[in-house]
Amino acid sequence: MKDTHTAPTAGRTALITGANNGIGLELTRRLLAEGWDVAALIRSPFAAEDEAISAAIRAGRLRVYTAELTDYRQLAAALKRIRHEETAIDVLFNNAGGSLAELEFSPQGREKHYELQTVVPYILYRETKELLLRGSLKTVIGTSSNAFAYTKKFDPDKLAKPGTFKPLTGAYADTKLALSLWTQALAPAEAADGILLRSADPGPNNTLRKGKKSGLPLPVHYLMRFFFAPPTQGAGRLHEAAFGPYRGQTGVLIDKKGIVKLKFADRAQAVLGNVDRIYREEFQILMRENKTDAAASAAPL
């Protein structure tokens, strides 16, 4: 379905993770060109030679927050800044992700795809919900994938510490599916607050970066390099998921053809329970400890 809608602009702010490369960068450029403000939560800086991006930063329309998202201490510090400096968020694009070349674990000890692509988006939503409630669009879009079309078995309890590693169709695909599943499970309750959660498949895009391992099987790497669409396509699909014909839907996964029926939908509540437990038992406790430490250091001697 062709999107004939455009995003409302005046006074609107989008928070985008992974905003400095690939699909996230093209989405950032598009929203800035449409008049949006963008809060970018990124691990590494924007390219200094990008004049349009540099101008937006100087003008205060592109505000940069830096953190390694899989490191909870860095993430907590960035979120503290965002809540202090932003007054409202209209759309949260949980976009950061990527296919790793080998089995890696986060500082918290969980498989890195799972931490980055499943758990952190949930934490970001929970921690920015107050800002979303102040916004006018109250929309959350998670970047999913069609890679899990090949998934034959799915166990939510094994995502944190998988026994084997398979590029693209292993942990990467499973954790993108898990993102869409918790989105589906959580959406009805959040709709009561007027917040709409969706996930979107941006399709095959050439997001290869010089000097960075793709984590893709060799045939897929070749196809991506020579035949996949530029990341402007993926940015367009995220844009359509937020502002196009499905903007009134919640809990759904959207691809180029429309709403996708999720595999393993019976595991959605289990995925949601796992990420919510991590949020409550690890991240919220860390945030409370940080507040206690800050209060103690500010107290007079």
Task: With CA atoms as reference, report the closest residue to 28 among 52, 2, 58, 1.
Answer: 52
Closest to 18 in 3D by CA, of 119, 95, 118: 95
pLDDT in tens, the chain (301 residues): 344 444 555 589 999 999 999 999 999 999 999 999 999 999 999 999 999 999 999 999 999 999 999 999 999 999 999 999 999 999 999 999 988 989 999 999 999 999 999 999 999 999 999 999 999 999 999 999 999 998 999 999 999 999 899 888 899 999 999 999 999 999 999 999 999 999 999 988 655 455 556 565 555 543 555 445 678 999 999 999 999 999 999 999 999 999 999 999 999 999 999 999 999 999 999 998 887 666 555 556 6
User: How do 258-260 and 253-255 pair as beta strands?
Assistant: antiparallel
Crossing angle for the helix pair 284-298 and 72-85, to the nearest 10 degrees: 70
**Superfamily designation of domain 13-291:** NAD(P)-binding Rossmann-like Domain (3.40.50.720)
Write down the pTM of the prediction. 0.90
CB 231 within 8 A of CB 52: no
The pair of three-digit structure tokens given for residue 81, joined into one six-digit string:
């800044």
Task: Work out whether strand 37-42 and strand 13-17 pair parallel, antiparallel, or are unpaired.
Answer: parallel
* Helix, strand and coil in the chain, % to nearest 5: 45, 15, 40
